Amino acid sequence: MTNTLHRYGAPETLIDDYIVFAMAARGINDEGSPAKLQRFTEIAMRHDPINLGDATRGGIFRSSRLNPLAHWRRRKRLRRAAIRDGVNAPTVVSAVFDREENLVAFLRDLRDADIGLSINVSSLLGRADELAREAGITRHSIEYSLGFFGNLDRLPDRDTLTLSTMCGHGMLSFGLARKMLDWVRAGRKKPEECAETMARFCSCGVFNTTRACRILRGHPRGPDPRPAQ
């Protein structure tokens, strides 16, 4: 199961959003897995991922020091190699791609490397299946998100929900996503600045800044999940 299944949005808003995970099973193939996870990250770095993450330590947008102004004045991102070098225990590592050709090339290299870990591609099902076949890989299984249940009129607006659900662990609050939308609309911040600010709160490093910029600029959006009033 992956928290990235819960990314909200119509299909056209997910066409540049591909997340690839590598993980070891505790007590089965976790022995020696840090070197394999580093290998996964090293291969990913060849294919221009827009984000890399280590579920234990965070992604490339995380800060090396914190203070009350850290989210606004910190260095924008870590070197990609820092993610690879920081893996020293069994964990989950990820790479986010916004271009299909980069994803396919990465999957081909992963297939050839045969690192011995479970690989998960999170995206639109049909397109992910096609791209995996193009890379010479036959999928093993499928997982679905069943969507939203309960009192849906308590959900935020669709743009806020689209942004906040790119952190599947709920570390990106609705309030912050709304503030970023308001700041872009008011001309106070550029979409790129707001996207990187939100990415810093995603502790797994799976936030897609390319998709966030597109949403912040007001490009195609999905239907509102709330019932009509």
Q: DSSP 3-state assignment of 54?
A: strand
Q: What is the pLDDT of residue 223?
A: 44
Q: What percentage of the chain reaches a pLDDT higher than 90?
A: 47
Q: Is residue 193 part of a domain?
A: yes
pLDDT, mean of residues 138-154? 85
Checking if the pLDDT of 224 tops 50, the result is: no
Computed over every residue of the chain, the mean pLDDT equals 85
Assigned domain for 229 exists: no
Domain membership flag for residue 20: yes
The number of distinct structural domains making up the chain is 1
| Exposed/middle/buried for residue 150 (C-beta within 10 Å: 0-12, 13-18, 19+) | exposed
Integer Cα distance of 229 and 208 in angstroms = 32
Indicate whether 189 pLDDT > 80: yes
Tell me the per-residue pLDDT of 191-223, one tens digit each, with 9 for 90 and over.
999 999 999 888 888 999 999 999 999 854 444
pLDDT attached to residue 226: 47
Domain assignment present for 125 = yes
Has residue 69 got a pLDDT over 70? no
Q: Is residue 135 part of a domain?
A: yes
Distance of CA 27 to the CA centre of its chain: 27
Higher pLDDT, 216 or 68: 216
**Structural domain contains residue 104:** yes
CB 201 within 8 A of CB 167: yes
- For residue range 87-110, list pLDDT tens digits in order: 888 888 999 999 999 999 999 999
| Domain ranges, residue 64 | 3-214
Residue 224: inside a domain, yes or no? no
- The highest-confidence range among 5-14, 42-51, 119-128, 135-144, by mean pLDDT, is 42-51
| Cα–Cα dist 200/208, whole Å | 11
Residue 220 in any domain: the answer is no
- What whole-number distance in Å separates Cα of residue 229 and Cα of residue 14? 27
Mean predicted confidence (pLDDT) in 21-45? 89
Tens-place pLDDT, residues 172-182: 999 999 999 99
